[in-house]
Chains A and B, each alone.
Chain A
Amino acid sequence: MDILTEDSLLIKNYVSGDEKALEFLIAKHNQRLSSFIYSKVNNRDITEDIFQDTFIKVIKTLRRGAYNEEGKFLPWVMRIAHNLIIDHFRKTSRMPMFEGADSFDIFSLIGDDKLNAERQLIKDQIDCDLEVLVAELPVDQREVLIMRIYKDMSFKEISENTGVSINTALGRMRYALINLRKIIEQHNIVLTN
């Protein structure tokens, strides 16, 4: 079939089941429609997307038998494309697209704050070691340290719970930390992640 065949004939053939007619229709208007879209959006990928969406609408309308613009196929397709371009700009103004360049990686800014499997294992090991070390502390110091660090209680709450003054609680916490450091140094324990 000649590529210059009338649009109306191609549409008629396509509607009556000739898939080849669609191929001719797309080939016939590909460049003109793509250039029209590209002149507005200035981006090849977006041009492809809008071109595709335009023809999806065209295919659906033709197949549903809802097309009735005899002889004005291209202006109709252009209008669909134009509306999709407007939709695209509305969408991008609401949610601007960020384009990463080769020299800049978006993942250097946003990242997963969760630990990876290896670091999680190390953290678990450290927590486990620390528990053993805390168990070595004198009872009064251990009590204050657990309340402060693990239960996230304030020194006021700790003093109320243990029946000692805030200053005593603060002092016990200080000694607990000093003693922990001593034990770590004495046994050459490395606690890092």
Chain B
Amino acid sequence: MGKIYATESDKHRSAKASPSTVKFLLDYSKALEITEANGLQFESNLN
């Protein structure tokens, strides 16, 4: 009988970042402000 290796690959396939992580990234993106002055870029987070 051939072995079934479905379990391991299923485990990998189900890996997904949690909604809280996704929400954090979206909030981070909204808060991130890039300002440019004299050819230099500055990052700031506006909360």
Contacts and interface: CB of A to CB of B under 8 A. Distances in A.
Interface residues of A, number: 24
A37 B15 contact: yes
B28 A35 contact: no
A37 B21 CA distance: 15
Contact of A48 (B21, B26, B34): B21
Given A38-B12, A64-B34, A59 B28 contact: yes
A40 B34 CA distance: 33
Contacts of A31: 13, 15-16
A6 interface: no
Nearest to B41: A64
Interface of A: 19, 22-23, 26-27, 30-31, 33-35, 37-39, 44, 47-48, 51-52, 55-56, 59-60, 63-64
